Protein backbone atom coordinates (compact mmCIF):
# COMPACT_ATOMS: atom_id res chain seq x y z
CA UNK A 1 0.00 0.00 0.00
CA UNK A 2 1.51 3.30 -1.09
CA UNK A 3 0.97 6.24 1.26
CA UNK A 4 1.28 9.93 0.52
CA UNK A 5 3.94 11.73 2.53
CA UNK A 6 1.36 13.83 4.37
CA UNK A 7 -0.45 10.67 5.48
CA UNK A 8 2.80 9.35 6.98
CA UNK A 9 3.24 12.42 9.20
CA UNK A 10 -0.49 12.42 10.07
CA UNK A 11 -0.22 8.82 11.26
CA UNK A 12 2.87 9.65 13.33
CA UNK A 13 0.99 12.54 14.99
CA UNK A 14 -2.12 10.45 15.62
CA UNK A 15 -0.65 8.67 18.67
CA UNK A 16 2.19 9.93 20.87
CA UNK A 17 5.36 7.89 20.70
CA UNK A 18 4.94 6.55 17.18
CA UNK A 19 8.09 6.32 15.10
CA UNK A 20 9.48 4.77 11.94
CA UNK A 21 12.03 2.01 12.46
CA UNK A 22 14.77 1.31 9.92
CA UNK A 23 16.09 -2.24 9.72
CA UNK A 24 18.01 -3.91 6.89
CA UNK A 25 16.92 -1.33 4.33
CA UNK A 26 13.24 -1.44 5.27
CA UNK A 27 11.19 1.20 7.04
CA UNK A 28 8.17 0.34 9.20
CA UNK A 29 5.99 2.50 11.42
CA UNK A 30 5.81 1.38 15.04
CA UNK A 31 3.75 2.23 18.10
CA UNK A 32 5.55 3.50 21.20
CA UNK A 33 5.31 -0.09 22.52
CA UNK A 34 7.21 -1.42 19.48
CA UNK A 35 4.12 -3.00 17.89
CA UNK A 36 3.62 -2.53 14.16
CA UNK A 37 1.16 0.13 13.01
CA UNK A 38 -1.50 -1.39 10.73
CA UNK A 39 -4.04 0.30 8.48
CA UNK A 40 -7.23 -1.30 7.25
CA UNK A 41 -8.46 -0.52 3.76
CA UNK A 42 -11.15 -2.47 1.93
CA UNK A 43 -11.21 -4.92 4.86
CA UNK A 44 -7.53 -5.74 4.32
CA UNK A 45 -4.86 -4.94 6.87
CA UNK A 46 -1.58 -3.34 5.77
CA UNK A 47 1.67 -2.54 7.55
CA UNK A 48 2.75 1.09 7.26
CA UNK A 49 6.02 0.86 5.34
CA UNK A 50 7.25 4.15 3.85
CA UNK A 51 9.75 4.00 1.00
CA UNK A 52 13.35 5.15 1.35
CA UNK A 53 12.55 8.03 -1.03
CA UNK A 54 9.66 9.16 1.20
CA UNK A 55 11.93 9.06 4.26
CA UNK A 56 14.60 11.08 2.40
CA UNK A 57 12.00 13.64 1.29
CA UNK A 58 10.68 14.02 4.86
CA UNK A 59 14.21 14.42 6.22
CA UNK A 60 15.06 17.02 3.56
CA UNK A 61 11.89 18.94 4.43
CA UNK A 62 12.81 18.70 8.15
CA UNK A 63 9.51 16.91 8.84
CA UNK A 64 11.39 13.93 10.35
CA UNK A 65 14.46 13.60 12.53
CA UNK A 66 16.75 10.59 12.70
CA UNK A 67 17.60 9.10 16.09
CA UNK A 68 19.74 6.04 15.40
CA UNK A 69 17.48 3.54 13.65
CA UNK A 70 14.36 5.54 14.57
CA UNK A 71 12.81 8.37 12.63
CA UNK A 72 10.58 10.67 14.65
CA UNK A 73 8.67 13.89 14.23
CA UNK A 74 10.60 17.00 15.25
CA UNK A 75 9.48 18.63 18.50
CA UNK A 76 6.53 20.92 17.96
CA UNK A 77 7.31 24.57 18.11
CA UNK A 78 5.09 26.27 20.62
CA UNK A 79 4.39 29.88 19.80
CA UNK A 80 5.93 32.34 22.17
CA UNK A 81 4.12 35.53 23.05
CA UNK A 82 5.85 38.63 21.74
CA UNK A 83 7.36 40.91 24.32
**pTM for this entry:** 0.86
Domain boundaries of the chain, sorted by first residue? 5-70
CA distance 21 to 15: 16
Residue-wise pLDDT for 28-64, tens only, equals 999 999 999 999 988 999 999 999 999 999 999 999 9
State the pLDDT confidence band at 77, using cuts at 50, 70 and 90. low
Amino acid sequence: MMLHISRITDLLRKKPGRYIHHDAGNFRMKEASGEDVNLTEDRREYLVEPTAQQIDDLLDAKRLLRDGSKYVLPPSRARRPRE
